[in-house]
Every structure is written in structure tokens, then in C-alpha cells.
Amino acid sequence: KQEVTQIPAALSVPEGENLVLNCSFTDSAIYNLQWFRQDPGKGLTSLLLIQSSQREQTSGRLNASLDKSSGRSTLYIAASQPGDSATYLCAPGGATNKLIFGTGTLLAVQP
């Protein structure tokens, strides 16, 4: 059974800092991994999708890496802004497109 852990559980940083969010998963037989953002009381916004054959994906200030064999992914946020404040969720996906979610990292970027 896939288990997903995200570290840290919460993070508070001043505006402008670069930061790294970590995700680890127990079953490396994944097809892809997605990073999402969730604002309070809202649905999920897809940030990045990494296929299992890829090592990283970039979108603007976001960069996600995937080390499938070791069961790890990281989300790097450059030059953080207050608008980045949200909960960040990682979710590895299997053959049936099921996503198993981590518990998330609650990020607060202080102006």
C-alpha cells in the first residue's frame, strides 16, 4: 500500500526566500507524480506533473524533481511571495491513475 509523507508539515518564511518541500513515497512503482496547491476551503490546483521517466519539471518559479528509485520528490519554489501561501500536496499516481496524497506542507510566506 502506497504511503506518502511530506516534510515539513508546516513552514513559515519571509518573502523572497527560496525553499524546498519534500515528498517521500513507499512504493516506487509509480507512473507519475503530481504536485498540487490547495488554498483554504478550496479545491486543488495542479502545479506540476512529472512522468515516471522524467527527472524534473519546471514551471515559472517552481521546479519539481523526481527520484523514483529512492521514492522521493522535491518541490523547489524560488523567490517566494505572499501569494504562494497555501498547502502543497504531492501525489504519486499508479497504473489506474489513482492518486495517493501526502498530508501536505502548509506554507506561509510573510511579507
- Contact call for residue 71 and other proteins (CB under 8 A): no
Inter-residue contact 25 to 2 (CB < 8 Å): yes
**Residues touching other proteins, count (CB under 8 A):** 24
Among the listed residues 92, 93, 88, the one whose alpha carbon sits nearest the alpha carbon of residue 77: 88
Which positions from 6 to 25 touch other proteins by CB under 8 A, shown as an x/- string? --------------------
Q: Which of 89, 92, 107, 109 binds other proteins (CB under 8 A)?
A: 89
Q: Which of 11, 13, 20, 49 binds other proteins (CB under 8 A)?
A: 49
Cα–Cα distance between 62 and 69 in angstroms, integer? 22
State the residue for C-alpha cell 498540487. 36
